[in-house]
Structure 1
């Protein structure tokens, strides 16, 4: 019976990528060697063994071009191991070109597209390199019974392996390979370096079972349904307990042996059902944990591909860069890891091309010639955090603003309203690039918008950027552990039960109506000296209160939602439950719902919508801005008074801005003392409102610096702070503050009255 090789392709590809990855790892280590230095024996043996095994497997599968190319690379490694040739950068470039060609062939095998074609020029260059220290590695010395010259051929003679004699047609050499052969000196590759294919990693001897990913998804779906039935059992248990309580009350009213017997039976059933539910809890929790573990992979699956990518990017840009990686043992959903490939490709290209300077520039700046990129991963609060930082020149904020205005992404007038972090967020806008010329790596204005869309929309995570001029840039990613299941909070609004992912909720606060302060654009909650805008969910969803049962109790809950632009409060009536569920897709007639990300089935067999926290936050921000604009637009247009608000908390800035704009003032924002001072020097302001506790430059110091400027010697300056001690007030007045407002006593009218009094209105 003929062997059906098709059923072994998946296994072959998994092993082949593992062998290519091992060779890649070794070559990256060898690049640090001096010319003529011999690599470590263990690494050399491992690299040779990977090439030899790949050659044999490809031959068994009849993928001749893969086998031939691996054979030529094996000959080079054999000659190096036997010290017939010496290590050199040219050898490294040529072997790297071979690995890229192998990956391209394996990708073609995976896609099943077209006939595999051998690159004869690359194979010829490898053969010449192997033979450069002695006889050619591909010729067999069979005269007079002489043994084969190469180790690989000696092994084939000993095992009786047959030679491959298939005819192949030549293919053009890619630019990277031509450069590796010395034919593309001084020329960049036509295509920028790409992230190598990811592979599953495992130590030799690990007990592993290959399982189709779809089977794992089905298993998780089954576990999700089991969790649903567990909820139903608990519901039934509650019903039995209620029946038992009713029976007991009935017995008190009229004694009956039958009622007593029924009561005892219900009590026994309830006890047994409770025990069964406890056991089911334990079993399902274990099943869920083990199933989830099957889906998780270590981040080394991705991180092991990054050194080669950074190496190629650095070489293409003429820079010296070292990559430091920590936290690769952190485990993450395989689906998330797969989608992170493009994210890291863009982030690393950005760091190399925009961040790390050329060696001469680094020397002029007093930095080491070799730049550093760090990738740090870990877990925090049930989520995975990844930080990518470089020690380059940082983001040119001035250039970023100029490009944003030139491309009409933001108006020049609106720039003054943006805080430092908001300006940095402009790099995620489609089509924006600060590069003055287009290169193979960047400059087209695409990439960073893809990064944010993948992180926020596809992976339900968040990304934040920080940058210090001359010191470098940091990207902070926060990702859920898995996308297969989600922990949701069920809550009630006017009788309607809804759900929201728990990851979107920073905390839950119980409030009375009087705790919510009236501000322009709605209401706000003072939480740990911060003002958080609060809106009722029914107004966001556009529900008609007349059709719903109004809440009878005054005590309500605020779900504090956290997102990249700050915090928002969502007002609801009560918290119902917390569950881990497998989200179900919305039916076709609900797929255009503006705020729903999916649905779930409750223990009462009711359909519950799961709302998207990010979309809710965006809508709340739009509604607040719209209300502020409508209420204060005419006054603002007539106003000639310009006020600067300085606060490191975005929500506080927004609240104060809303209050002051509604009172008829023009308002500009700054998110720390240094930024506030720079804006005050750049243009005149009629009054300054500043926080005290801020990074870089606190409110006291900002006040003193402003008083040293002739322009601000008599300008009103208001300190708004949580410090309520008399010594702090005296310190503020001594620094030159015109007024001191404690946040604990802060309200809308107090701020406006103080501003008007100081401006003489």
Structure 2
């Protein structure tokens, strides 16, 4: 009876993917330095692929695997050393095998090798036998690649119109492996749950019996008490079982990020090749696990970020050499876990983002006015790239420049994945995009609160703290309320007013101006930006299953999902990034109060503070009086900006990273341009020794945040500037 080879194809594909993943990572490691054991391991993977494919009569795969094995054998025996040219050939071989395996998985067969692929295999074998052929082999390979794309399973021409199949993709498997032990745990839990449910049925029968005999038995209340205890214990036990069952089920859906990241190296190589750029892609932390549902949605944003790094970031080899950089660019993808978040960083060592180019494009697109740009910090200008239709590329290509991409990334990360995205860039040094994602969208820690009689929810990763403060502790700055929390100004707003909650018949929170001794504040946070929401009370805190909004409601940016809270009540989850954005838009500008007094002079003030909220509030106060304000994130940033341009006065905090305010003040006094310029320290340090030190290092005024008065600040600044 003939052997049915097709039955073994799926098993071969599964094992081949594991070996190819190992080969891809191994080649990356070889570029950092040759390790004999690593080479042996890669040789074994290629050998296994050759043998397995030969048994299944998959001759095209066997030929490529055999030529790869020859090249690895030469490396293992020391006849050949790993170099950039050898790495490129190894990558091409692995990519060709990957295409073949994917074709086999989709069509249950693999196409015969093209003439170019046959030539490539012969080149690898010839190089293994005679390493002196390296230069000519590499050049021939490069020539063949430009003519016929040897890593593609077909011989499509370069100028062929793009199809859906040719679009870049980070692929994840349709099936996943589950350990037998996990399945056994799940089956065991199901058995316990069934048994427990049988007990619930018995209790229901007992309840009916008690109902019938309650009137005839004088001591029936004792039986009722016992019954109440029994049912309470049974319900609690069932809740524990269901909780554990749900947790185990979710764990089965948690998969390593490598499922989507491992193909990123090849994607980068393919896109770099189309741009005539040399790029290395390094991946760390691919073992970090994330919910499969999120992994699937992460692929598109990752492709956009990689495209951005390759097209806008990494320069052409000749340009990089002129800048003193290696001709080969570097893209690093790093994953790590931070409490309940997974943090992904996509970093390149390219040209960085030009703030001037962003400003010019933003003006041409009408995204902002010139006045707005003058008042925006460097980070705010950088964040304009996330606006819809924004692109600094002057040329529309197959990779980017269509004004589509970064806004899609932000919408996917923030709205769909409930995450946070930020970026840091430095001209000619590179750019780093940071994505913070919850481990799962299926179940999260949720706080339910009451505001104006409405029950609402917040996912815990956005909550900084919950605190009660005296109403008298609120301060008025820039026409809005704020509270000082550990050396930081945090804006305060009533949640009901912020989202226009309708009044209900239930008791509601009194307005801020009413006689009330204590306010309950829920402090929400995204990155370093915070907002204190006035709420009525905290109702509950627990892990809850998140329900996605129906399709017709998914455009609602205020609501991120729903949870069920007791008695099957649906509770809306508020989307914190939207709340922060809305608070920024509705805050009072207050620029009419004193603007005329100093409008004609437009004195320039530098504000230095590591707290985003404090910087923004101080800027609003000063701009309300007509001052032109520049912001700095810490002492060193402030010193750099003070040296780059001359300011009329400097306001600085004390406790900051990299360089504190005392050191900054002392350093500024050493600068010729700042020997006589006013420097004001604004801090929460109230000790007399701190005041003396501030004066000793050269500060003209020392203002304590706890007793902060915006009029006092403005008056002090006026006196010092006169």
Tell me the TM-score normalized by structure 2: 0.76
**1:563 maps to what in 2?**
526
**1:596 maps to what in 2?**
559
1:577 aligned to 515, 526, 540, which one? 540
**1:754 maps to what in 2?**
716
1:121 aligned to 115, 120, 132, which one? 115
Contact 2:524-2:530 within 8 A present in 1 as well:
yes
CA spacing shift, 1:575–1:349, aligned 2, 3 Å: same
CA spacing shift, 1:395–1:406, aligned 2, 3 Å: same
**1:47 maps to what in 2?**
46
**1:741 maps to what in 2?**
703
**2:623 maps to what in 1?**
661
CA spacing shift, 1:42–1:659, aligned 2, 3 Å: closer
Question: Which range is displaced more, 507-516 or 462-471?
Answer: 462-471
CA spacing shift, 1:357–1:328, aligned 2, 3 Å: same
1:99 aligned to 97, 100, 109, which one? 97
Question: Which range is displaced more, 640-649 or 700-709?
Answer: 700-709
- Separation in 1, partners of 2:33, 2:664: 53
1:649 aligned to 611, 635, 641, which one? 611
Count of aligned pairs between the two proteins: 667
CA spacing shift, 1:573–1:684, aligned 2, 3 Å: same
2:172 aligned to 198, 218, 224, which one? 198
**1:73 maps to what in 2?**
64
1:477-516 superposed matches below 5 A: 477-516=435-474
1:342 aligned to 291, 300, 303, which one? 300
- Separation in 1, partners of 2:325, 2:538: 55
CA spacing shift, 1:711–1:32, aligned 2, 3 Å: closer
1:348-367 superposed matches below 5 A: 348-355=306-313
1:260-409 superposed matches below 5 A: 261=219, 263-312=221-270, 322-355=280-313, 372-392=330-350, 394-409=352-367
Question: Which range is displaced more, 462-471 or 290-299?
Answer: 462-471
**Residue 411 (str. 1) matches residue 372 (str. 2):** no
Contact 2:591-2:624 within 8 A present in 1 as well:
no
Contact 1:568-1:617 within 8 A present in 2 as well:
yes
**2:134 maps to what in 1?**
none
TM-fit CA distance, 1:537 = 1.3
- Separation in 2, partners of 1:670, 1:651: 12
**2:210 maps to what in 1?**
none
Question: Which range is displaced more, 676-685 or 44-53?
Answer: 676-685
- Separation in 2, partners of 1:622, 1:610: 21
**1:723 maps to what in 2?**
685
- Separation in 1, partners of 2:706, 2:229: 52
- Separation in 1, partners of 2:651, 2:280: 45
CA spacing shift, 1:597–1:28, aligned 2, 3 Å: closer
Contact 2:351-2:430 within 8 A present in 1 as well:
yes
Question: Which range is displaced more, 718-727 or 392-401?
Answer: 392-401
Tell me the TM-score normalized by structure 1: 0.73
Question: Which range is displaced more, 353-362 or 271-280?
Answer: 353-362
Contact 2:170-2:299 within 8 A present in 1 as well:
no
Q: Runs of 5+ in structure 1 lacking a partner?
A: 60-66, 135-172, 241-256
TM-fit CA distance, 1:335 = 2.0
Secondary structure in structure 2 of the residue aligned to 1:577: strand
CA spacing shift, 1:199–1:364, aligned 2, 3 Å: same
**2:589 maps to what in 1?**
628
Contact 1:729-1:740 within 8 A present in 2 as well:
yes
**1:543 maps to what in 2?**
501
1:597-616 superposed matches below 5 A: 597-616=560-579
- Separation in 1, partners of 2:256, 2:37: 32
Secondary structure in structure 2 of the residue aligned to 1:628: coil
1:479-526, Cα deviation, whole Å (9 max, x unpaired): 111111222111111322111212221211122322322333431121
**1:63 maps to what in 2?**
none
Contact 1:395-1:473 within 8 A present in 2 as well:
yes
1:410-429 superposed matches below 5 A: 410-429=368-387
CA spacing shift, 1:189–1:32, aligned 2, 3 Å: farther
- Separation in 2, partners of 1:349, 1:710: 46
- Separation in 2, partners of 1:544, 1:531: 29
1:663-697, Cα deviation, whole Å (9 max, x unpaired): 45444433344554565566665443222333455
- Separation in 2, partners of 1:532, 1:677: 25
Question: Highest CA radius of gyration, 1 or 2?
Answer: 1
- Separation in 1, partners of 2:629, 2:468: 33
Contact 2:635-2:656 within 8 A present in 1 as well:
yes
Contact 1:75-1:130 within 8 A present in 2 as well:
no
- Separation in 2, partners of 1:27, 1:716: 58
1:660-699 superposed matches below 5 A: 660-677=622-639, 685-699=647-661
TM-fit CA distance, 1:532 = 0.8
CA spacing shift, 1:54–1:611, aligned 2, 3 Å: farther
CA spacing shift, 1:690–1:106, aligned 2, 3 Å: farther
Question: Which range is displaced more, 736-745 or 288-297?
Answer: 736-745
TM-fit CA distance, 1:410 = 3.5
Q: Runs of 5+ in structure 2 lacking a partner?
A: 129-143, 208-214, 511-515
- Separation in 2, partners of 1:32, 1:565: 36
TM-fit CA distance, 1:562 = 0.9
1:229-286, Cα deviation, whole Å (9 max, x unpaired): 99xx9xx9xxx9xxxxxxxxxxxxxxxx999945533442343234324422432232
- Separation in 1, partners of 2:437, 2:479: 32
1:722-753, Cα deviation, whole Å (9 max, x unpaired): 23233332332233322110112213333233
CA spacing shift, 1:126–1:451, aligned 2, 3 Å: same
**1:475 maps to what in 2?**
433
Contact 2:528-2:611 within 8 A present in 1 as well:
no
Q: CA-atom RMSD, angstroms?
A: 5.0
- Separation in 1, partners of 2:89, 2:268: 19
**2:133 maps to what in 1?**
none
1:205-224 superposed matches below 5 A: 207=180
CA spacing shift, 1:748–1:116, aligned 2, 3 Å: same
